[in-house]
Amino acid sequence: MDVLEDVSRKFLEGNLKLSASLYQKLSAINSDNLVLSPVSVQLVLALIQLGARGKTAAELQEALHLPNSPDKLKESFKVLSSKLKSNQDYCLNAANKIYLKNKYVIDPDFFKLSREIFDAGLENLDFEEKVHAANVINKWVESKTNEKIKNLIDPEIFDECTRMVLVNALYFEGTWALPFEAQSTYKRYFFKSDNEEILVDTMHQVGYLNYKHDMELDARMLELPYKGNDITFTIVLPNQIKGLRAIESKLEQVLQPQQYSYQRVRLSMPKFKMQSSFKLIPPLKQLGVEDAFNPEESDFSGLLVNDERLMITDVIQKVFINVTESGTEAAAATAVVASYAVTSVGYEPQPIEVRVDHPFLYIIKFGNLPLFVGRLEIPTV
Residue type, 212: K
The CATH number assigned to the domain with range 9-174+274-340 reads: 3.30.497.10
Please report, for residues 14, 99, 100, 261, 284, the alpha-carbon distance to residue 209 in angstroms, rounded to integers and kept in the order given: 28, 44, 48, 8, 36
Query: Residue 355 half-sphere exposure, CB side, CA atoms within 13 Å?
Result: 11
**Residue 77: predicted pLDDT:** 86
Q: What is the b/e burial string over 132-149, where b = at least 16 CB atoms within 10 angstroms of the residue's CB?
A: ebbebbbebbbebbeebb
Residue 74, Cβ neighbours under 10 Å: how many? 15
Residue type, 106: I
**Residue 9: predicted pLDDT:** 74
User: How many residues belong to the chain?
Assistant: 381
**Residue 2: predicted pLDDT:** 55
Give me the residues paired with residue 274 across strands. Answer: 321
Q: Where in the chain is the domain with CATH 3.30.497.10?
A: 9-174+274-340
Secondary structure (DSSP) of 123-168: EEE-TTSHHHHHHHHHHHHHHHTTT-S---S-GGG--TTEEEEEEE
Residue 17, Cβ neighbours under 10 Å: how many? 18
Indicate the pTM of the whole model: 0.94
**Residue 295: predicted pLDDT:** 92
**Residue 284: predicted pLDDT:** 96
**Residue 1: predicted pLDDT:** 40
3 state SS of 109: helix
Residue 31, Cβ neighbours under 10 Å: how many? 9
**Residue 380: predicted pLDDT:** 86
CB 60 within 8 A of CB 66: yes
> Is CATH 2.30.30.240 the right assignment for the domain spanning 176-273+345-376?
no
Backbone angles phi and psi of 228, in degrees to 5: 105, -25
Q: Mean pLDDT for each consecutive 10-residue tract of the chain (381 residues)? A: 58 90 93 94 94 95 85 83 89 96 94 93 96 98 97 95 97 96 94 91 95 96 95 97 95 94 96 96 96 95 91 97 97 96 64 94 94 94 74
**Residue 371: predicted pLDDT:** 96
Distance CA 8, CA 72 (A): 8
Distance CA 250, CA 174 (A): 28
Residues in contact with 147: Cβ distance below 8 Å, sequence separation at least 6, in sequence order: none
